[in-house]
Structure 1
Amino acid sequence: MTTTANSPARTDLEFKRIDASKPAGDQIFGSIKHAILNMDLQPGCIVSEAEIAAKFGASRTPVREAFMRLREAGLVVTYPSRGNFVSRLNKEKILEARYLREALEMANIRRLASGGLPSASHDRLLENLQAQEDAAAIGDAVVFGNLDDVFHLELAEATGFPRAAQVLEKEKMVLDRLRVLSLRDKNHLGFLKDEHARIFEAICAQDLSEAVRFGELHFSSILKVLSDLEIRHSDYFDD
């Protein structure tokens, strides 16, 4: 990939070839989305439809379909006569997503701390926290990030409201790239794991005030991370 002046080239980036038994557009969209959210394709990087088609061994039609969906998701922007670019991080959109996510997650925490945690959810969360501890101990940010997702989605699903997890999944996408940057700090992994454990323990004890307190502390930390990363990676953010 060629890039803007602020982003390193990623000509080494490879993708799996298209599985002919599945819709090509879905596969291309999923792979490019994953590469963007995991910062393999960095903010400001130009992405060529022709090059993507060649890398996937696909025609231009499913590639155009995938790019349309990426634009709708806010992950790619298109400038006439210039091409398609990975969108830069936008502070206002991040703050909005954080606001919406916090409102939903705190509602989940309050419901579970008041009404109790289903035993199956309890066991899955306990296993998840142990895996988080293991990942943090060796500094595996990729595994830890996946476990972080599962932890919060498990809390949402434990409420018994299916759409709680669906809405959470949608809103967290705006924050995913910010999180990938923050998880590069290995000390931050242990910090997040401890915050998750405190929320879990307070929910299990049905201690509503402590669950709310630890939840609010957890989500307020996003603001500090945003401020720090905006300074350290200013070239990733909108002017």
Structure 2
Amino acid sequence: MSYIVSSHPNTLNLTQTIYKQLREDIFSIRLIPGEKLSEMKLASQYGCSRIPVREALHQLRLEGCIDSRPQIGSFISYIDYENLEQVRYVRECLETQVMLNALRENAYDDSIDELQSLLDQQWNAYKKKELILAHQLDDLFHLFFLKLPHKEFVRDYMGANNVHYQRARFLALKYDPSPEALVWQHQAILDAVAARDETALTKAIHIHLNNLYRVIDSSSEEIRNYIRHHKKPVRV
């Protein structure tokens, strides 16, 4: 779905370019929550008028990436903690059920080595501090478990495009004092799949998807200030 209203091809393409770059910067916390955006500075940066910038900001605003304050300006939205918990809960329910069903149908039997290779690549990315690559490999690892039983569509319901959840994940990745814990958690998931242990798999998924709370709750005040209405959620 597109929210862009301009009909001029050049403006449309430029709007999409600005939108995609800003969205990537927001998701990866290069633009931090609360930071003010200047239409004039962005127009200068992209060498264009303010029209495509304004349209890109409008689309980001509709997605919850940006908050507007009348007579003040546009700001990167804060991470909504309650929204984050809602997405995490739905994701855990869906991902666990899909994987348990697939396990019973032997959908993963021929792919253990390939999944292990993904984990090895992720570990190398962490060691090289290539956080964006590590984040992408994390997504790919989880997507693999959905693709094998042909349940890719579930990803859209698991927060893949949710600005609050994805920023919290990247925040946890960036500031985790023990980032290798994520790989160990993935390994626990894969080991449970290989052993066909449904109880261990359910537990491993729960621990992994709650990992971001461990990081956020123990982080500095500066990081917690990126989050709106920060509080410990009731775990379900």
**Fold conserved between structures, TM > 0.5:** yes
User: Shift of residue 78 of structure 1?
Assistant: 0.5
User: Shift of residue 131 of structure 1?
Assistant: 0.3
Match of 1:130 among 100, 117, 120: 120
- Structure 2 counterpart of 1:168: 158
- Structure 2 counterpart of 1:182: 172
- Structure 2 counterpart of 1:84: 74
User: Shift of residue 142 of structure 1?
Assistant: 2.5
CA contact (8 A) 1:101 1:172 kept: no
* Distance change >3 Å, CA 169–CA 159, structure 1 → 2: farther
User: Shift of residue 26 of structure 1?
Assistant: 1.8
- Structure 2 counterpart of 1:228: 218
Unaligned regions of 5+ residues in structure 2, if any?
1-9, 230-236
Match of 2:51 among 61, 74, 84: 61
User: Larger deviation: 164-173 or 36-45?
Assistant: 164-173
Which 4+ residue blocks in structure 1 deviate beyond 6 angstroms? none
Q: Give a deviation string over 1:193-233, Cα, whole Å, max 9, x none.
A: 01101101211332212111211221233332332237452
Partner Cα distance (2:212, 2:176) in 1: 16
- Structure 1 counterpart of 2:28: 38
Q: Give a deviation string over 1:29-83, Cα, whole Å, max 9, x none.
A: 1100111111111111011122212211233332222111111111101010000
Partner Cα distance (1:200, 1:151) in 2: 10
SS of the counterpart of 1:81? Answer: coil
Match of 2:86 among 77, 96, 120: 96
Q: Give a deviation string over 1:132-175, Cα, whole Å, max 9, x none.
A: 12123333323211211111122222231231123335355422
RMSD across aligned positions (CA): 2.5
Unaligned regions of 5+ residues in structure 1, if any?
1-19
CA contact (8 A) 1:49 1:60 kept: yes
* Distance change >3 Å, CA 187–CA 222, structure 1 → 2: closer
| Correspondence 1:108 to 2:91 | no
Q: TM-score, normalised by structure 1?
A: 0.81
User: Shift of residue 128 of structure 1?
Assistant: 1.0
Q: How many residues align?
A: 221
CA contact (8 A) 1:141 1:189 kept: no
* Distance change >3 Å, CA 49–CA 21, structure 1 → 2: closer
| Correspondence 1:48 to 2:38 | yes
Identity rate, percent:
25
CA contact (8 A) 1:116 1:206 kept: no
| Correspondence 1:158 to 2:145 | no
| Correspondence 1:214 to 2:204 | yes
- Structure 1 counterpart of 2:193: 203
